[in-house]
Amino acid sequence: MTFDSQAYTAQLEEKATRLRDLLAPFDAPEPAVFDSPLANFRLRAEFRLWREAGERHYAMFSQEDKRTPILIEEFPIASLRINQLMPQLKAAWQASAALSHKLFQVEFLTTLAGDAMITLCYHRPLDEHWHAAASKLAADLNVSVIGRSKGKREVIGHDYVVEKLEVGGRTFSYRQPEGAFTQPNGTVNQKMLNWAYDALGDRSDDLLELYCGNGNFTLPLATRVRKVLATEISKTSVNAALSNLSENAVDNVSLVRLSAEELTEALNEVRPFRRLHGIDLKSYEFGSVFVDPPRAGMDPDTCELTRRFENILYISCNPQTLAANIAQLHDTHRITRCAMFDQFPWTHHMESGVLLTRR
């Protein structure tokens, strides 16, 4: 399958124009535009399995019709590794009743660094026959295999993949756990990290990071400041972030499992939190805050919290909620840099970034 580069260029410009229009009321500078590869950019994929003519096939469903499957043999937007693994896995389940019996969903997770994991989901308990077949599959395909069945999980190999990304001339290693959020477009993610690294600049004060996930931005940004206080609510992501900090010998980050709303209460001394035991909030000299919130954006109280910082570095997966948050901050902060990252080509979705500086 070939992709129309002219159609892609037109779509990219339409997204950039949409971002310009949303940020125009705030006198934003011209956005830097970071494009994506046209194909093989997506590092993860999830497929239902559909039985037809006595065989199971990879299947997806359109947003408009959740009942009619689209049977597929390859997935051109997915990574080359996923496309390589798809027929190999299909041949394996066709040859093994232990692998195929009541198998209903398959998930792939790969990295630019070449690591891969396959998750197999079943409507039945997993027994020793499955374990033997899955162990052979993992060895044959050089992947980790996860089996899931009614809240139980079997792990063959690792329950994570390892990514390596170059930011600011340094290579960072990231453990990305099965089931946790990771940026799907690794090439564009690396561009986002380098833009944020450059936008923050070298500083002698401290950084507060909200919604830190597995430490995707934390690792490179920590090398730009004196120390970091980072927060994340997901246990899986917190554990991955702690592993990533240790693996990369980044030792100036304190990570706490608090929501952005809870941290706001702690900084405003509304109430103490046991999870902050041993962390002296008054020892921090915060000059900047970094936020990468969910699609709903920052809630009003968290938005007010960010107002107290000189710099607000904001990565957004929803330009509408980004604009709404900027409207709340516009009287004290102005946009000094902005960017559009085409994390999701061939869709209307985009990631964007702004640096807001106190007036």
The whole-number pLDDT of residue 175 equals: 93
* 87 and 132 fall within a common domain: yes
- pLDDT for position 1: 65
User: For 242, which DSSP code?
Assistant: H
Which token pair is 336? 């000094």
Residue 325 vs residues 21, 135, 201: alpha-carbon distances, Å: 15, 49, 23
Question: Counting every residue, how long is the chain?
Answer: 359
Q: 97-121 burial by CB neighbour count: b if 16+ within 10 A, else e?
A: ebbbeebeebbbbbbbeebbbbbbb
CA atoms of 304 and 202, how far apart (whole Å) = 25
From the centroid of its chain, how far is CA 288?
A: 22
Report the CATH number that the domain containing residue 340 is assigned in CATH: 3.40.50.150
pLDDT tens digits, residue range 195-251?
A: 999 999 999 999 999 989 999 999 999 999 999 999 998 898 899 999 999 999 999
As a whole number of angstroms, the distance between CA 52 and CA 112 comes to 34
Same domain, 155 and 229: no
Q: Among this protein's residues, is 303 annotated catalytic?
A: no
**Whole-angstrom distance, CA of residue 352 vs CA of residue 16:** 10
Segment 272-281, tens digit of pLDDT: 898 898 899 9
**17 and 119 both lie in a single domain:** no
Q: What is the largest CA-CA distance in the chain?
A: 67
pLDDT interval class at 76 (50, 70, 90): very high
Instruction: Tell me, yes or no, whether 193 and 112 share the same domain.
Output: no
Alpha-helical (H) ranges within the chain are: 5-23, 80-94, 97-100, 128-141, 186-200, 218-222, 235-247, 260-267, 300-306, 319-329
Task: Give the domain CATH number at 112.
Answer: 2.40.50.1070
In this structure, the answer to whether residues 346 and 203 fall within a common structural domain is yes
Same domain, 206 and 340: yes
Q: Tell me, what's the pLDDT at 269?
A: 85
% of the chain exceeding 90 in pLDDT: 85
Q: Kindly state whether residues 31 and 61 are assigned to the same domain.
A: no
Q: Which of 129, 161, 193 is the last residue of a domain?
A: 161
Please list, in sequence order, all residues whose beta carbon lies within 8 angstroms of the beta carbon of residue 329, skipping any fewer than 6 positions away: 303, 306, 307, 312, 356
The DSSP line for 192-222 is HHHHHHHHH---SSEEEEES-TTTTTHHHHH
Checking if the pLDDT of 2 tops 80, the result is no
Residue 252 annotated in ligand binding = no
351 among known catalytic residues: yes
Range of the domain at 120: 44-161
Q: What is the mean pLDDT of residues 134-157?
A: 97
pLDDT at position 301 is 87
Residue 211 marked as a ligand binder? yes
> Which of these, 325, 349, 44, 341, lies nearest to 210 by C-alpha position?
325
pLDDT > 70 fraction of the chain, expressed in percent and rounded: 100
Residues 126 and 229 grouped into a single domain = no
| Residues 14 and 82 occupy one common structural domain | no
251 and 210 within one domain: yes
Task: Calculate the average pLDDT of the chain.
Answer: 95
Domain assignment present for residue 190? The answer is: yes
How far is it, in rounded angstroms, from Cα 5 to Cα 115? 29
Given the residues 212, 303, 317, 338, the one annotated as active site: 317
Q: Are 50 and 194 in the same domain?
A: no
Give me the number of domains the chain comprises.
2
Specify the DSSP class assigned to residue 181. Answer: -
Q: Could you tell me the pLDDT band of residue 179, with boundaries at 50, 70 and 90?
A: confident
Q: Of 97, 129, 161, which one is at a domain's C-terminal end?
A: 161
Contacts 24+ apart (CB under 8 A), 347-351: 348/15, 349/317, 350/15, 350/18, 350/19, 350/319, 351/188, 351/192, 351/315, 351/316, 351/317
Looking at 161, 194, 229, which one is the last position of a domain? 161
- Contact between residue 170 and residue 220 where contact means Cβ atoms under 8 Å apart: yes
- Best CA proximity match to 290, nearest among 200, 198, 357: 200
Judge whether residue 3 has pLDDT over 90: no
Q: How far apart are CA 155 and CA 140, in angstroms?
A: 16
Q: Which of 33-47, 207-221, 250-264 has the lowest mean pLDDT?
A: 250-264
Strand pairing partners for 289? 208, 312
Instruction: Kindly report, residue by residue over 282-335, the tens digit of the pLDDT.
Output: 899 999 999 999 999 998 988 999 999 999 999 999 999 999 999 999 999 999
C-alpha distance across the termini of the chain, in Å: 50
Q: What is the mean pLDDT of residues 6-22?
A: 96
pTM of the model: 0.94
* 63 annotated as belonging to a binding site for a ligand: no
- What are the structure tokens assigned to 27, written together? 């006198």
The answer to whether 241 touches 177, Cβ cutoff 8 Å, is: no
